[in-house]
Amino acid sequence: MRKYRVIVMANQTVLVLDFGGQYKELIARRVRECNVHSHILSGDTPLETIQSYQPIGLILTGGPNSVYDASSPKCAPELFSLGVPVLGICYGAQLLCHLCGGKVKSCEVSEYGVTEAEFTKFAAESPLFEGLEGAQEVLMSHTDYISDLPDGFVRTMSTNHCPTAAMENRSRKLYAVQFHPEVVHTHRGIEMIHNFLYGVCGAVGDYSMDDYIERQIEAVRARVGDDQVILGLSGGVDSSVCAALLSKAVPGQLTCIYVDHGFMRKHESEEIEHAFAGQDIRFVRVDASDLFINALAGVADPETKRKTIGRLFVEVFRQEAAKIGRVEYLAQGTIYPDVIESGNDKAATIKSHHNVGGLPDEIGFKGVVEPLRGLFKDEVREVGRKLGLPDALVNRQPFPGPGLAIRIIGEVTRGKLAILRDADAIVREEIGNADCGADQYFAVLTDLRSVGVMGDFRTYDYTLAIRAVITGDFMTAEYARLPHELLSKMSRRITNEVDHINRVVYDITDKPPATIEYE
């Protein structure tokens, strides 16, 4: 039996304690951009759990509440006496103030937007502001403010409307900023985060993708031993990078199964088979389209669709595993945002990603292997490049696991799939050729039918929506400002070339409040 050495040493970790703010992922990513590992936990996580991570620092996020609301999320006051450096941001700053004995009051007028903050004389000695001087542009977004500092704290920054824009107690390593250093609008915010990590927490910068790859390879080997693993390969970035990593970790024990659920885009299954079948991995294509399409007959609810697809994926994997023999592990290309957006007992479920919330409770394998579960999308791409995957694959747009089934509003039928495939191929061709900076673009078949006229005849056909967004992290997005000529060209081509579509609309909604996909 093969034996592998397990590396037990872990990265230094900064915990991001979430109090319901919209920027928790952004804070976590900023920390990682500084080469320090970060992990998000709910703000009211018990002290022992927090300590079990042996964090080198804690960052308390913003949030919509007031510290005086009985129901507002709180951490244990002892958190501030652990000797672990803390940076409180916005609500996190007010909470730190409140729990350390200071006072927080409501502003007469809420303060939103970029403003100038001045350093006080105490800032000259502050490790948080090392290398910074003069007025600083900062993004404020608050309705409460710190009115009385807790004992032992000094004010380091203030603005016209906010007497305490920053405060600190250097000896206790407690820092608080009312503004948001994690957003680009706070021009030197990333330097402040860097200063907190390196100047206060004593970070050594041991988090890198090279290191991550090595650790995951060791961890997968230790976990899997001599057993066989199957990986659900969709041809997307995440599962392809996962395949590349696993083929390094457990070569000879990996079978990649591509389940064609019948919801793929035009010619996509053939392209994926072509890309992977020639590689040095066992690749199996399973045509399960009848199974999936029949199971979705009459199903219109988005979550039911996602859960049904999640369940059937596992069913098919199990059948294929039985054919291979000794398969104990199911591998998946799950990434960190899938986990965050699928919710938990604290955070609201936005969508059950088929590979997280969509998984049935009893999966029938000894375990699930998810080596990318801790990574953001841009980190997954970096891992892919480091493992030698071609740019075209690494930079592919995301395509959701449930495929076109969640881009057809309402019941999915073979007829609707055929319509959407043809329209989507036109959208992707035209926007792709226009090179207009959109990060993800596709077509959605709505369940709206309306009256049109074609030649001399009345039509009563579907409305197609075009979605194109600009986003870096896919957690928030802006709709792409596509030129009107491009929109008209797509509209004309789609209504002329695709049967049963007589109306085309362009979606001009950002995320939030919408999501990128429709279901």
Please give the residue ranges that form the binding site for ligand XMP (CB under 6 A).
341, 351, 353-354, 398, 400-402, 440, 474, 511, 515-517
Shortest distance, position 424 Cβ to ligand XMP, whole Å: 13
- 181 versus 232: smaller Cβ distance to ligand XMP: 232
- Report the alpha-carbon distance of residue 377 to residue 386 in Å, rounded: 14
Nearest Cα neighbor of 420 from 491, 500, 340 is: 500
Tell me whether the omega of the peptide bond preceding residue 513 falls within 30 degrees of 0, making it cis: yes
Shortest distance, position 17 Cβ to ligand XMP, whole Å: 24
Q: Exposed, middle or buried, 513 (CB in 10 Å: 0-12/13-18/19+)?
A: exposed
Shortest distance, position 406 Cβ to ligand XMP, whole Å: 7
What element of type H or E holds 43? none
Distance of CA 110 to CAs 96, 103, 104, 113, 142, Å?
20, 17, 14, 10, 6
Shortest distance, position 478 Cβ to ligand XMP, whole Å: 12
Per the CB < 8 A criterion, the answer to whether 248 and 220 are in contact is no
Q: Which candidate in 37, 98, 180, 194 is catalytic?
A: 180
- 61 versus 234: smaller Cβ distance to ligand XMP: 234
- 252 versus 513: smaller Cβ distance to ligand XMP: 513
Q: Which candidate in 34, 90, 242, 256 is catalytic?
A: 90
Shortest distance, position 514 Cβ to ligand XMP, whole Å: 8
500 assigned to active site: no
- Report the alpha-carbon distance of residue 371 to residue 290 in Å, rounded: 31
Query: What is the spatial order of strands in the sheet that 254-260 belongs to?
Result: 282-287, 254-260, 228-232, 327-331, 367-369
Per the CB < 8 A criterion, the answer to whether 16 and 24 are in contact is yes
201 assigned to active site: no
Q: Which candidate in 111, 168, 182, 382 is catalytic?
A: 182
Per the CB < 8 A criterion, the answer to whether 441 and 428 are in contact is yes
- 102 versus 401: smaller Cβ distance to ligand XMP: 401
Q: Exposed, middle or buried, 280 (CB in 10 Å: 0-12/13-18/19+)?
A: exposed
- 111 versus 379: smaller Cβ distance to ligand XMP: 379
Shortest distance, position 465 Cβ to ligand XMP, whole Å: 14
Radius of gyration over alpha carbons of the chain, in Å? 26
- 144 versus 519: smaller Cβ distance to ligand XMP: 519
- Report the alpha-carbon distance of residue 336 to residue 367 in Å, rounded: 18
- Report the alpha-carbon distance of residue 158 to residue 156 in Å, rounded: 7
Shortest distance, position 479 Cβ to ligand XMP, whole Å: 12
CB atoms within 10 A of CB 488: 11
267 assigned to active site: no
List 296's β-bridge partners, or say none: none
CB atoms within 10 A of CB 35: 19
- 100 versus 369: smaller Cβ distance to ligand XMP: 369
Catalytic residue positions, numbered: 90, 180, 182
